[in-house]
Structures are given as structure tokens and as C-alpha cells.
Amino acid sequence: MTTKYAVVTGAGSGVGRAAALALLADGWTVALAGRRADALAETVGLAGNAGPRALPVPTDVGDPASVNALFDRLKADWGRLDFLFNNAGGNVPAGPIEELKYEDWARVVQVNLTGSFLCAQAAFRIMKTQDPIGGRIVNNGSISAHVPRPNSVAYTSTKHAITGLTKTLALDGREFDIVSGQVDIGNAATPMTARMAKGVKQANGEMKVEPTFDVAHVGSTIVMMANLPLDANIQFVTIAASKMPWIARG
């Protein structure tokens, strides 16, 4: 069996952990990128017998030097890269746009958008020159890539921008068999969505408890996308709690 190599950012918790564990269970060799070494080690432990195929690499995706160090190591250790899941992201507490501090805006943009760009750029450099050529990149867009929540200008802006990044990567990668797609997730049960159980603000101002779904289903979706041959692509896929209120008018 040919070894398949992947990197998952934000692999220390939530969606990134679920995706990394699903890829490992499917036989992939996976680099786990994230800021917290202890969280990455916990992900490795959860992988069980697949743990030896997990490579934890503490990484700050918003730091060009840190990203370059990650991908330089993967190129040296593996010699190729088949799949990148650009998942790492962050947010700030909801609030009116006029009260959002520049530093908070800049931090969300640096992680969510610039971090995804930096990792995609580094992946392109490997995928364009390896033999056989090509690979696949999947970006985590979020439901916010379609519609905003109230008082979420920084997060929503970056996730709309991720869609532009996905489309550009798909276009610019064609010549080199580099395929790009996007997964938009709504209310997967992770620490980030724990607040849903207490109620979140809706477009009409009401507070409403929203349903969630098992984050493992995101992992299986990522595996499905990763395993497609490079002459086929799931350009965009939305996976969400079936009864979450985003599909109806606000």
C-alpha cells in the first residue's frame, strides 16, 4: 500500500482533531499542527494503534517562519505531501463593529485567512515539484462563509475570504494537479460550540438554543474528500446540524 501523507492544522482539538483521527484511522500518515504541544500529544494518544503514524509539530499558522519550518520538516522527512486540511482558526467574542479593537480584528485575520494562505502556499511549493506531481487542499470555511451571525464581522469576513482562496487555489492548481475544495461546517459539537447549549443570538435578536451534531461526521467527510482521485473534486460541501436555523430566513 502506498503511504499517503497529510497535514492537519488546528489538530489539537475540535474539528482538526476529528479530521486527524479519521485520516489516521484510514491509514494516512498525518502531521498534527497546532500551537499547543500538550493538545497535539493528546490527539496522538487518542489515535491508539495509529499513533505511530502521527507526527505532532507545534506550529503557529499565523507566523511565516513557523509555517515554513513545518513544511520544510515534512519535505525532509516524507519527501512529499498529498493532502492539507487548512482548519486552524480563531474568533473573538461577539460585539458591535464599532467596539471591535484593531488588534482583535488583526489576530482573527492573521490566523483564519493569512494562516490558511501561508499553509497553502507552502503546500503548493511541495506539490508542484514532487513526483508524482499534485495533491489536494481542503479549507475549513464554516457556515459563516455563507451567512453571518450577528456581531461577527471579523470571523465572517475571514470565512468569506476563505471561499475566494479556495476558488483561486483550485484555478491556479489545475496545471499541476493540485485540487482545492472547501468544507463549510455548521454546529459540529466541539468546545467552540459548547455555548450553543446556553443559547446564541439570532438575527431577530432572540436567544435560541441551537442543535449540534457529532464532530466525527466532519472527520469522515474530510476522509472522503481526501481519498478522491485528483481528476475528481468536491469543490464545496456543507455539513451541518440538520435542524440548525441557518437555512431559513432570519
Catalytically annotated residues: 155
- Provide the CA 5 distance to its chain's centre, in angstroms: 16
Q: How much of the chain is in helix, strand and coil states, percent to nearest 5?
A: 50, 20, 35
Round to whole Å and give the CA distance between 181 and 147: 19
Question: Which 8-state DSSP code applies to residue 112?
Answer: I
| Residues present in the chain in total | 250
Supply 69's cell numbers: 519550518
Question: In whole angstroms, what is the distance from residue 156 CA to residue 72 CA?
Answer: 31
CB 174 within 8 A of CB 233: no
70, 6 Cβ separation under 8 angstroms? no
- Nearest Cα to Cα of residue 176 among 137, 221, 119: 137
